[in-house]
C-alpha cells in the first residue's frame, strides 16, 4: 500500500510539474504575443505619424508655393540670399581683395556707367585703360577697373545695365553679385526707375552703403535751356535762363527721387548730379 501511495504521489508530482511547465509556456507565448501586438501597434502608430508628418510637410510646401505665386502676381518678390559658398565664389570671380575699397556702378542701360567709371578714375574715353563708352549698353559682364596709380585704394566696377539681360529686376542684384561690394553707386539718367529702387532695397537688406547719382547734368540743363528758347537769347540773358534751368533741374531731380523713395518705403538719400567730363577734370 505504501508503494502504491508513493507511486501515486510521484505521478501526481510529475503531472503537477508538467501542468506548471505547460502554464509557463502558455504564459510565455501569451507574453510574446502581447509584446508583438504592442510592437505592431507602435509600428502602425509610428507609420501613421510619419504619414501625417509627410502630409503636413507636403501641405506646407504647397502653401509656400501658392504664397510665392501670389506674391509674384502682386509684384512682391522673394528675397534671394546667397550662400556662404556663393559669396566666396563671387568674391573670387570679381577679384575682391582685402585692403581695397570696391565700388559697383549700377543702373539702367545707357545711363552713363562707363563714362562715370572713367571720370572717377580721371580717364578720358580714349585713354588706354578707360572703360568702353557707347550710346547703347557696352558692358555685358561685370568689369573691374583698378584706380590708376597707387594714391587711392579704390576699385571701380562697371555693371551691366538692368533691362539689357534676361534677368528680372528683383534677381539682378544677386545675379550680378552686387552683395560683395563695399559701396554701390546707383546711376540714372532721365528718370528714377523701379530697377533703381530694387537695387537700393537690396542695399538696405545687405547693409551696403548706396549713393544715388544722376548723370549728364550739363547735357540735361543745356536741353532745358534750348526748350525754353535760350538759343535765341544774348549771352547775359542766356546765362540767367541757364541759372533758372539749373535750379529747376536740381529741384525736380531731388523731388522725383524723394517721391520714389517714399513710395518704396526706403530712407531718404542725397542725390548727386554730375557731368562726367567736368568730374574727370576735377579728379585729374
Q: Which residues contact 194 (CB under 8 A, 6 or more apart)?
A: 169
Backbone angles phi, psi at 75, to 5 degrees: 85, 10
Over residues 187-200, mean pLDDT: 89
pLDDT at 130: 67
pLDDT at 112 exceeding the cut of 80: yes
Q: Which residues contact 159 (CB under 8 A, 6 or more apart)?
A: 104, 105, 106, 113, 139, 142, 176, 178
In the block, residue with C-alpha cell 509557463:
24
pLDDT at 72 exceeding the cut of 80: no
Under the banding of pLDDT at 50, 70 and 90, the label for residue 106 is very high
Same domain? 62 vs 198: no
19-68 pLDDT, tens per residue?
788 888 888 888 888 888 888 888 888 888 888 888 888 888 888 777 76
* CATH for 165: 3.40.50.300
Same domain? 145 vs 261: yes
Same domain? 130 vs 16: no
Same domain? 157 vs 266: yes
pLDDT at 136 exceeding the cut of 60: no
Residue 83 grid coordinates: 550662400
Tell me which residue range forms the domain holding 249.
84-283
Under the banding of pLDDT at 50, 70 and 90, the label for residue 191 is confident
Residue 36 grid coordinates: 508583438
Same domain? 20 vs 131: no
DSSP secondary structure code for residue 148 in this structure: S
Same domain? 71 vs 90: no
Contact between residue 129 and residue 76 where contact means Cβ atoms under 8 Å apart = no
pLDDT at 110 exceeding the cut of 90: no
pLDDT at 211 exceeding the cut of 80: yes
Same domain? 34 vs 121: no
Same domain? 30 vs 105: no
Mean pLDDT for the chain?
83
In the block, residue with C-alpha cell 578707360:
130
pLDDT at 62: 82
Same domain? 142 vs 244: yes
Question: What's the domain count of the chain?
Answer: 2
Q: Which residues contact 254 (CB under 8 A, 6 or more apart)?
A: 271
227-260 pLDDT, tens per residue?
777 666 667 777 888 888 899 999 999 999 999 9
State whether residue 64 is helix, strand or coil: helix
Same domain? 125 vs 239: yes
Same domain? 188 vs 69: no
pLDDT at 223 exceeding the cut of 90: no
At which of 24, 49, 76 does a domain end?
76
Between 281 and 88, residue with greater pLDDT:
88
Longest dimension (CA), the chain: 158
At which of 49, 76, 103 does a domain end?
76
pLDDT at 9: 77
pTM of the model: 0.68
Where residue 47 falls (left for φ over 0; alpha for ψ -120 to 50; beta otherwise) is alpha
pLDDT at 135 exceeding the cut of 50: no
Same domain? 65 vs 89: no
pLDDT at 179 exceeding the cut of 80: yes
Amino acid at each position: 500500500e505504501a508503494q502504491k501511495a508513493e507511486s501515486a504521489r510521484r505521478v501526481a508530482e510529475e503531472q503537477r510539474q508538467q501542468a506548471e511547465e505547460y502554464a509557463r509556456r502558455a504564459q510565455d507565448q501569451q507574453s510574446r504575443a502581447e509584446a508583438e501586438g504592442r510592437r505592431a501597434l507602435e509600428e502602425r502608430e509610428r507609420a501613421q505619424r510619419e504619414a501625417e508628418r509627410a502630409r503636413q510637410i507636403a501641405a506646407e510646401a504647397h502653401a509656400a508655393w501658392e504664397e510665392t505665386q501670389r506674391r509674384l502676381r502682386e509684384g512682391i518678390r522673394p528675397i534671394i540670399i546667397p550662400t556662404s559658398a556663393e559669396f566666396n565664389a563671387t568674391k573670387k570671380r570679381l577679384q575682391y581683395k582685402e585692403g581695397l575699397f570696391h565700388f559697383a556702378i549700377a543702373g539702367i542701360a545707357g545711363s552713363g556707367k562707363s563714362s562715370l567709371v572713367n571720370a572717377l578714375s580721371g580717364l578720358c574715353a580714349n585713354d588706354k585703360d578707360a572703360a568702353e563708352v557707347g550710346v547703347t549698353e557696352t558692358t555685358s559682364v561685370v568689369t573691374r577697373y583698378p584706380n590708376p596709380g597707387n594714391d587711392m585704394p579704390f576699385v571701380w566696377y562697371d555693371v551691366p545695365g538692368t533691362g539689357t539681360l534676361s534677368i528680372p529686376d528683383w534677381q539682378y542684384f544677386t545675379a550680378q553679385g552686387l552683395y560683395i561690394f563695399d559701396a554701390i553707386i546707383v546711376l540714372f539718367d532721365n528718370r528714377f526707375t523701379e530697377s533703381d529702387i530694387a537695387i537700393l532695397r537690396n542695399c538696405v537688406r545687405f547693409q551696403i552703403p548706396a549713393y544715388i547719382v544722376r548723370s549728364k547734368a550739363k547735357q540735361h540743363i543745356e536741353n532745358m535751356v534750348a526748350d525754353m528758347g535760350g538759343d535765341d537769347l544774348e549771352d547775359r540773358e542766356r546765362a540767367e535762363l541757364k541759372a533758372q534751368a539749373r535750379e529747376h533741374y536740381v529741384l525736380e531731380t531731388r523731388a522725383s527721387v524723394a517721391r520714389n523713395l517714399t513710395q518704396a518705403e526706403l530712407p531718404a538719400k542725397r542725390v548727386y548730379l554730375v557731368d562726367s567730363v567736368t568730374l574727370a577734370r576735377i579728379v585729374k
